[in-house]
Chains A and B, each alone.
Chain A
Amino acid sequence: MSVWLVQMFNSLSVSSILLLIALGLAITFGLMNVINMAHGELIMIGAYTAYVMQNLFADYLPASWFGAYFAVAIPAAFCVSFLVGLALEAGLIRFLYGRPLDSLLATWGVGMVLQQLARTIFGAPNVGVKSPEWLNGGLSLGGSVLPYKRLFIIGLVIVTLIAMYLYIYRSAAGRRMRAVMQNRQMAACLGISTRRVDAMTFAIGSGIAGVAGCALSLIGPIGPSLGTYYIVDAFMVVVLGGVGKLLGTVAGALGMGVFNTYFEFWTNASLGKVLVFACIVAFLQWKPQGLVAMRTRSLD
């Protein structure tokens, strides 16, 4: 198979990873306008959950069950990050709504605290996660190999995306969420508990970050500073896609993934990244709203 086709697959895979790390942020930042700098650390928590699950399975269950740990780790990562997000919202974020600069600094601080906490609990060096046997290897296609892990991540993103779509656009809870985000006063007047919706929304965004972390443990490092590698890309995707739109985030991730991969292929990794960022900056000059603009009747 030609190198071009492999690159096509790679760009799809990179896009899926970008989308996965950005989906949670699309909720917390995109919908709620909380600049959550601790998003990366929520990803880290997901990755460490995978590590803990692996150890639990290795220690307490028969070896033949080991391969199942990853299937358990994904919902577990969601739950752990969900709870951390819930606590974060209740303890900090809710005092900072409408104060983006304050929430930026506060969440960045929280991120640092979480990093150091991970360092204290798990030690400073990276920990290893042994990927389950059923995800090793890849699909051979005319001399090239499409790794199962990358295919799995693409699948996971699609499932997550569908679940999010159903929740936000097709469920009563999602309708309340959108109502609150679009017009808080009106929603409150109609009897929606905006406090509860805020907490729920932030926690779901955090939980999805945990799922991303769990998936990333397959292909990347698992260490205290893991989140810092992804946080910039995550924000870039959401801003590029257009704040507040799920479809925009998908478009942003695809655009960034494809351009990143091909620029990197034609030039090199450092310059590729510079070119992508330059393109994004130029694009946002032209269309500050991002790829998919949010139409809103609110005046702010």
Chain B
Amino acid sequence: MKRKRTKRFGILALGAGLLLLAGCGANNSANNGASPSASGGSSQPASSSAASGSPSASGDGIKVGILHSLSGTMAISEVSVRDAELMAIDEINAAGGVLGKQIVPVVEDGASDWPTFAEKARKLLTDDKVATVFGGWTSASRKAMLPVFEELNGLLWYPVQYEGMEKSPNIFYTGATTNQQIVPAVDWLLENKGKKFYLLGSDYVFPRTANMIIKAQLKAKGGELAGEEYTPLGHTDFSTIISKIQAAKPDVVFNTLNGDSNVAFFKQLKDAGITSDKLTTMSVSVAEEEARGIGADVLAGHLTAWNYFQSIDSPENKKFVDAYKAKYGADRVTDDPIEAGYTAVYLWKAAVEKAGSTDVDKVKEAAKGLEFDAPEGKVKIDGDNQHLYKVARIGEAQPDGQFKELWNSGDAVKPDPYLETYDWAAGLSGGNG
């Protein structure tokens, strides 16, 4: 879903893959320090299996897969989620493991390449025989892995907010679906900021699906569409788009840009003299981690919609943030997908303990209605669609790079990936990607 860039020079991939081996393996050993696993067998960069402080665990441990992009363009986002998941596993192991056994993570690199995700997922399920897999970020990677998990009856925990319109029996979605992020954000904007929306997004499935939903919602609630613009992923010059926005004079820019484009957009918006008090922007893919890259002073005042902010004041969140900073460095920040990855590990543990087994069908059955006090607050697994009940939140960027919560939905919102409970959304579910 997110941050997929067009792969340039695809024809050369094979040849250059050979040259890559030296470069790409370096990253994942930075935190694990473990010896490379014997996975081999493909031309992808070597992966390493983290021993997580229990060297003898492979005998009586429970293996779980962690499958994120540790190299390539998506590494920018996914490395942090991998870190959070490993941290959760370490915490669980330190507290005695699950069912009396230590969890042994098998870390694989999806390399920002969707077929590699499918291949590695298959390897984790058939060769390593992992109990479950935590992984993925882009919708493209999820959709590549989905048939593998369904075919082999595996279990995938997917940690990122996405465009909805999906419920696989083999995937648990711990990020938000649209009715827990985008739909409440649009409602809030209509009520508080104005009716005239300008939709700006990267040109791929997530923004297009999200904007399709937003347009239906605007139509039903008396909003007005001032313009709709998509840029290729990795687009870096927004001068023309900013002129178009200025000409259209919208009340709100709803921003579904992904990845590095956000940095260019916000920097150039500021340079053009458009500050947050002149124009409201609402972003759904800009979190604390991205705020650092954009520059806190540039982003200050702009709005964002998530289910979790690092600034949430709760004992669970304080513990999580402190542990993350202690483990990975005081300058690191947590954000929504990082938190969702961390929560996923604990939810799986709780389900396994309730089921008394790591068997996929038993775990799925046990997971129904399971609750967990996550850093974002209490979350609950919806038995019907394997999404989470989540509190929707809107935050305002502060000059220190954190977000101040302006609004939240109070109660956790029931996940509705197909927007079946919204009248105006009838007929949307057919047109997704």
Residue ranges of A at the interface with B (Cβ–Cβ < 8 Å): 3, 6-7, 10, 13-14, 17, 37, 104-106, 108-110, 112-117, 119-120, 123-131, 136-138, 140, 145, 147-150, 216, 218-226, 228-232, 261, 264-265, 268-270, 272-273
Residues in A whose Cβ lies below 8 Å from that of B218: none
B-to-A contact residues, CB < 8 Å:
5, 8-9, 12, 15-16, 18-20, 22-24, 26-27, 30, 71-73, 75-80, 203, 229-232, 234-237, 239-241, 243-244, 246-247, 260-264, 267-268, 270-273, 289-290, 292-297
Q: Flag if A219 contacts B268 (CB, 8 Å).
A: yes
Cβ of B26: which chain A residues have Cβ within 8 Å of it?
A: 116-117, 120
| Bound-complex Cα distance A149 to B273 (A) | 12
Bound complex: CA of A119 vs CA of B27, how far in Å? Answer: 7
Docked pose: A35 CA to B119 CA in angstroms: 33
| B18, B75, B244 pick with most chain A CB within 10 angstroms | B75
Complex alpha-carbon distance, A137 and B275, angstroms: 11
Least distance between A67 CB and chain B CB atoms (Å)? 14
Q: With a CB–CB cut-off of 8 A, which chain A residues contact B76?
A: 124-126, 223-225
A266–B384 Cα distance when bound, in Å, is 46
Contacting pair B30 A120 (CB below 8 A): yes
A6 to B243 CA separation, bound complex (whole angstroms): 7
- B232/A273 in contact, CB under 8 A: yes
Chain B interface, >50% SS class: helix
User: A-side binding surface: helix, strand, loop or mixed?
Assistant: helix
Give Cα A149 to B246, complex, Å.
Answer: 19
- The answer to whether B292 and A125 have CB atoms under 8 Å apart is yes
In contact, A265 and B271 (Cβ under 8 angstroms): no
Pairs A–B under 8 Å by Cβ, sample size 28: A10-B243, A13-B239, A104-B12, A109-B18, A110-B19, A117-B23, A119-B71, A120-B27, A124-B27, A124-B76, A125-B76, A125-B289, A126-B292, A128-B295, A138-B273, A145-B271, A147-B268, A218-B267, A219-B237, A219-B267, A219-B268, A220-B236, A220-B260, A229-B236, A264-B240, A269-B231, A269-B232, A273-B232
CA distance A37 to B12 in the complex (A): 11
Q: Can you name the residue of chain B whose Cβ is closest to the Cβ of A117?
A: B23
**Bound form: Cα–Cα A291–B270 in Å:** 36
Distance to closest chain B CB from A158 (angstroms): 19
CA distance in complex: A112, B78 (Å): 18
Shortest Cβ distance from residue B315 to the other chain A in the assembled complex, whole angstroms: 27
- Taken together as a complex, chains A and B put the C-alpha atoms of A254 and B261 apart, in Å, by 23
Chain A nearest Cβ from B137, distance in angstroms: 12
Contacts of B247 in A (CB 8 A): 3
Chain A residue nearest in CB terms to B262: A221
Q: How far is the CB of A200 from chain B (nearest CB, A)?
A: 26
Asked if B260 contacts A124 (CB within 8 A), the reply is no
Residue of B nearest to A10 (CB): B239
Contact between chains at B237 and A14 (CB < 8 Å): yes
* Set of chain A residues within 8 Å of B18, measured between Cβ atoms: 109
Assess the B24–A130 pair: CB atoms within 8 A. Answer: no
Asked whether, in the complex, the Cβ of A219 is within 8 Å of the Cβ of B271, the reply is: yes
Residues of B within 8 A of A147 (CB): 268, 271-273
Decide if B263 touches A221 in the complex (CB within 8 Å).
yes
Which of A14, A37, A220 gathers the greatest number of chain B CB atoms within 10 Å? A220
* Contact A269:B229 (CB < 8 A) given known A105-B12, A126-B263, A138-B271: yes
A235: min CB distance to chain B, Å: 10
A116 touches B24 (CB 8 A): yes
The answer for the CA separation of A203 and B20 in the assembled complex, in Å, is 24
B75 and A137: CB pair below 8 A? Answer: no
Q: Which of B232, B236, B240, B273 contacts A265 (CB 8 A)?
A: B240
Residue of A116, A140, A222, A231 most packed against chain B (CB within 10 A): A116
Residues of chain B within 8 A of A128, CB atoms compared: 292-296
Judge whether A112 and B16 touch: CB under 8 Å.
Answer: yes
Q: What is the CA–CA distance of A270 and B204 in the complex, to the nearest angstrom?
A: 11
